[in-house]
Structure 1
Amino acid sequence: MEKRGYQDVNHLVIERCKSGEHRAQYELYKLYAKAMFNVSMRITNDYAEAEDVLQEAFVSAFKNLHSYKAEASFGSWLKKIVVNAAINAIRKRRAELVPMDERLVAGVPDEKSDDEPEWQIEQVRRAIQKLPDGYRLVLSLYLLEGYDHAEIGEILGISESTSKSQYSRARKKLLEIMKEPQFAG
């Protein structure tokens, strides 16, 4: 999201936001809203809830802008806020992670086997939406948002091995869903 040319512009917009300029807040919102909505949507799997999360995250970001130190890109800082807001929204739904038997973590490969078919992006996206919240959350954080299992464990308050197990089970469930007739070809 933040390319080299944007960093200087973003820095100026961020400084204007810190001084309370509403137009600058709107500019920052326009720069990041679409990407952050997509992050929220992948986690919540609900359009209206993703919109609410986006608004909540931006309000929180603007309130806490003074704590942004530019050690990471603004987009990374904002993404953490969005991810946390989305996770909180799921928790409010009282979604629980599927209980794990940590002995199942070992021996589940991460690589695609030769006998797995190739899937269209839209088919995979629809199948991910059918996953239970706990599975979808870990799968999205790991595959789509780029968090490692230690980070996911910290974010969700679970162990790293539970995150790995959830991810493995999510992959297995996703493949089962993808083999259903409505997802074939």
Structure 2
Amino acid sequence: MLSQIIDGCRKGHRKNQKELYQMFYAYGMSITMRYADSRDKAAATLNDAFMKVFDNIRKYDRHRPFKPWLRKIIVNTAINHFNANKKYQNWEGLDESSEEIGQDETIISGLTYDEIIEMVQKLSPAYRTVFNLYVIDGFKHEEIAELLGISVGTSKSNLFKAKRNLRALLEKNLM
């Protein structure tokens, strides 16, 4: 069924585009909500991502799974939205503190996905983006630095501070 929908999208059929959009809307929103600070911004990012999908559907290799191809477009679109608003970001480089960077944190099992996303959305855009790229999407600091136009040290520092802020939010919500 998915291959038929993709065939229709390649031919520019609106009905098939709508079907593909509806089929992957929730999946796409679960990604964009992690990067955006509101549902409206996440929806706008997702809509832009689907426009890119429809514009580039002919480049999709049918011999590979569709979902990872879609995910890459969605994540890259979220990064593009982030970079478009870069002048409003507050990057913090490494400071002189003795705090160590890179210790893995455990997630409290009693929280729902929506509660975790809500906490991630409370992070500053810079912290939120680095956190998502590193922790959720599996990018390395070198890749993050290149994508966002920052230094590797700034990426590491922002991840550390994002984790620290999330820990504080967790403590506040659990008390």
For Structure 1 versus Structure 2, the TM-score category normalised by the shorter chain is: 0.7 to 0.9
1:53-101 Cα offsets, whole Å, 9 max, x none, are: 1111111110111222346532222222222222232334433242212
Q: Supply the AA of the counterpart residue of 1:15.
A: D
1:88-125 Cα offsets, whole Å, 9 max, x none, are: 32334433242212776983242348xx9766235543
Of all paired residues, the percent bearing the same amino acid is 28
Q: Secondary structure at the residue paired with 2:88? A: coil
1:138-169 Cα offsets, whole Å, 9 max, x none, are: 11222223333333233223344432222112
Alignment partner, residue 33 of structure 2: 41
Q: Supply the AA of the counterpart residue of 1:54.
A: L
Note the aligned Cα RMSD (angstroms).
2.8
- TM-score when scaled to structure 2? 0.81
| Unpaired runs of at least 5, structure 1 | 1-8
Q: Supply the AA of the counterpart residue of 2:94.
A: D
Alpha-carbon shift at residue 172 of structure 1 (Å): 1.3
Distance 1:17 1:103, change over 3 A: farther
Distance 1:105 1:166, change over 3 A: farther
- TM-score when scaled to structure 1? 0.77
Of the three residues 33, 52, 58, the one matched with 2:44 is 52
Alignment partner, residue 92 of structure 2: 99
Alignment partner, residue 169 of structure 2: 177
Of the three residues 100, 104, 108, the one matched with 1:111 is 104
Q: Secondary structure at the residue paired with 1:28? A: helix
Alignment partner, residue 5 of structure 1: none
Of the three residues 112, 137, 142, the one matched with 1:150 is 142
Alignment partner, residue 18 of structure 1: 10
Alignment partner, residue 20 of structure 2: 28
Alpha-carbon shift at residue 41 of structure 1 (Å): 1.1
Is the 1:57–1:81 Cα contact (8 Å) retained in structure 2?
Answer: yes
How many residues are aligned here?
A: 173
Distance 1:25 1:126, change over 3 A: closer
1:30-58 Cα offsets, whole Å, 9 max, x none, are: 22111111111110121111111111111
Which structure carries more relative contact order (alpha carbon 8 Å, separation 6+)? Answer: 2
Alignment partner, residue 111 of structure 2: 120
